Structure 1
Amino acid sequence: MKYHQLGKSDIEASVIGFGCMSLLKSSRQEAEALIHRALDAGVNYFDTADLYDKGENEQLIGRLLKPVRDKVIIATKVGNQWREDGSGWDWNPRKSYILSAVEKSLSRLNTDYIDLYQLHGGTIEDPIEETIEAFEQLVQEGKIRYYGISSIRPNVIRKYAALSNIQSVMIQYSVLDRRPEEEMLQLLEQHHISIVARGVLAQGLLVDKPAKDYQGHTAAGVAQVQQTMNSLLQEGYNKTALALHYVLRSAVLASAVIGFRTLHQLEDVLGALEMVVPAEILEKLGHQVPAKRYTDHRL
């Protein structure tokens, strides 16, 4: 397993991160087996959020990682406030809410500190300076080590890059969603802010799922991308490796976070990580797959 520095922090994150959102869909025994196998393989970056299963996901992660707490990076998120009646959630990036929400996350995670606390979304209309104040206060208090944001909005990302000490941006990035290549990769590299990529396998469309509409691509367009990938396969690597290494080649990427539901999925990605995909094949893939642009939240 390789490790990359997260932004300017002292965090060294495994290039494969574990997206924990799907774990409660498995049994406790299956979840424990997945976590243990990931740990054995060198995965040290585990991503959750207070939103997932109304906090139960944080509780599960807290229990499973407690024995190895000093060896892992726990990243969680804040900003989506569940309504009291449980009917849904509302966006709340206010300082007072963040300062109260972190206490509940710390309790559920059964830890004294969070390694990376991320704003779970955000719009340009938010009180961004106030949100930054909250994160900075939590760093000073030792309740979080570092903070970042999870956003695909270029205008929001630019604002935080200019005004804050974020160490990372969690952003959707894959062969089928190359929007970050237009501007964000270069911008974040200039600011020494890392990308934590999600959606790397595009819901399995880049591996084994039937084509469907996805991120501005029609089902027919997705099928064409799948055919292109098949045409580029050579002995020594598979489609998972092709999709994974396309994203991992970015100099600004710290970790590709993938949600694993089964041991088979985990082993597939771990195996693909060890495969060698020639750089010219990845370049050819980029040239042959049409890149979309962000249509909203640009300015």
Structure 2
Amino acid sequence: MKYNQLGKSSLQISEVGFGCMSLGADDQANAVLIQEAISNGINFFDTADLYDHGNNEISLGKAIATAKREALVIATKVGNQWKADGSGWDWNPSKKYILASVEDSLRRLNTDYIDLYQLHGGTIQDPVDETIEAFEILVQQGKIRYYGISSIRPEVIREYVRKSNIVSVMMQYSLLDRRPEETSFPLLMENNIGVLARGTVAKGLLAGKAAAPYLNYSAKEVAQAAAGISTLSGENRPASQTALRYVLQQPAVTSAILGIRTAAHLSDAVAASAALPLMAAEVAQLNHILPVNKYEQFR
């Protein structure tokens, strides 16, 4: 497993991260899967207080209880507040809510500190200064080591780059979603901020799922992209791994966060890290399959 430094932090994280959102409700099964991931070199685990009403954090906490905490990088997210009746959630990036929520996440994760605490969204209308102040207080208190944001909005990303000490941005990126390349990737690389990529196989469309419209691309165009991935794949590098290698070979990307729910998912994720890298000519070939899409909103 390859490890990369996350932006300007001191965190060394596996290039394939374990996305815990896909985990089921069986804590014992989750523990077996997570411990196997650790054995295979995955050290970065991403969850959120939103997932399964906090139970996702609890399950992760139980799974890592016997592991060496200092060897793991635990990331979670905050900002979405469940309604009292559990029917949905409201966006709440306030200082008060963040300072209170971290206590709940620490308890559920059964840990004394969170390595990476991320704002789970954000709009340009948020009280950004107040939100940043909350994260800075938590760093000073030692409850979190670093903080970042999860956002695909260029205007929000620019604001946090300008005003805060974020070390990472989690965003969607794949051959079918190259929108971050226009402005976000250059800005983040210039400021030594790591990218945590999600959605690398575009809901499975780049890994064998039947073609369907995706973002601004038609089903026909999606099929063209999938065919391009397939052409460069084979027994030694299945389509899902080719799609992932494409993402990992983007210089701005520090780690790809994969949703892992089964032993087969884990095996594929580990194999992807060891898969043959794409040659420069292969990357260029994929880059020319479709016109690059760009963000149309929140620019």
| TM above 0.5 | yes
Are residues 1:286 and 2:287 paired? yes
Structure 1 residues 34-43 or 75-84, which shifts more? Answer: 34-43
Question: What SS is found at the alignment partner of 1:66?
Answer: coil
Question: What SS is found at the alignment partner of 1:67?
Answer: coil
Superposed CA offset, 1:60-118 (max 9, x none): 00110121222111100000000111111000001011000111111111111000000
Aligned-residue offset at 1:58 = 0.4
Are residues 1:64 and 2:63 paired? yes
Aligned-residue offset at 1:228 = 2.1
Distance 1:231 1:250 in 2: 20
Distance 1:248 1:265 in 2: 18
Are residues 1:217 and 2:195 paired? no
Aligned-residue offset at 1:290 = 2.6
Does the 8 A contact of 2:24 with 2:261 survive in 1?
no
Aligned position for 2:29: 30
Distance 2:231 2:41 in 1: 32
Aligned position for 2:40: 41
Distance 1:199 1:117 in 2: 20
Count residues with an aligned counterpart. 297
Superposed CA offset, 1:21-62 (max 9, x none): 11125x334322221221111000000000000100000001
Aligned position for 1:295: 296
Aligned position for 2:122: 122
AA in 1 matched with 2:64: L
Structure 1 residues 8-17 or 231-240, which shifts more? Answer: 231-240
Aligned position for 1:200: 200
Task: Indicate the percent of aligned positions where both proteins have the same amino acid.
Answer: 54
Question: What SS is found at the alignment partner of 2:207?
Answer: coil
Does the 8 A contact of 2:122 with 2:156 survive in 1?
yes
Structure 1 residues 282-291 or 28-37, which shifts more? Answer: 28-37
Distance 2:64 2:236 in 1: 34
AA in 2 matched with 1:297: F
Question: What SS is found at the alignment partner of 2:264?
Answer: helix
Distance 1:235 1:90 in 2: 46
Superposed CA offset, 1:117-146 (max 9, x none): 000000000010110000000000000000
Does the 8 A contact of 1:50 with 1:78 survive in 2?
yes
Superposed CA offset, 1:257-292 (max 9, x none): 000121112212222221222221012101213321
> Relative to 1, partners in 2 of residues 1:100 and 1:235: Cα closer, same or farther, differing over 3 Å?
closer
Structure 1 residues 206-215 or 131-140, which shifts more? Answer: 206-215
Unmatched 5+ stretches in structure 2? none
Instruction: Give 1 or 2: higher helix fraction.
Output: 1
AA in 1 matched with 2:40: A
Structure 1 residues 120-129 or 289-298, which shifts more? Answer: 289-298
What aligned pairs does 1:170-185 form with structure 2 within 5 A after superposition?
170-185=170-185
Superposed CA offset, 1:150-194 (max 9, x none): 000000000000110000000000111110111111110001000
Distance 1:179 1:172 in 2: 9
AA in 2 matched with 1:46: F
Does the 8 A contact of 1:75 with 1:117 survive in 2?
yes
What aligned pairs does 1:126-205 form with structure 2 within 5 A after superposition?
126-205=126-205
Aligned position for 1:52: 51
What aligned pairs does 1:56-135 form with structure 2 within 5 A after superposition?
56-68=55-67, 69-135=69-135
Aligned-residue offset at 1:234 = 5.8
AA in 1 matched with 2:287: G
Question: What SS is found at the alignment partner of 1:61?
Answer: helix
Superposed CA offset, 1:186-218 (max 9, x none): 110001000000111112111121112222222
Does the 8 A contact of 1:240 with 1:269 survive in 2?
no
Distance 1:19 1:235 in 2: 25
Unmatched 5+ stretches in structure 1? none
Aligned-residue offset at 1:235 = 6.7
Question: What SS is found at the alignment partner of 2:292?
Answer: coil
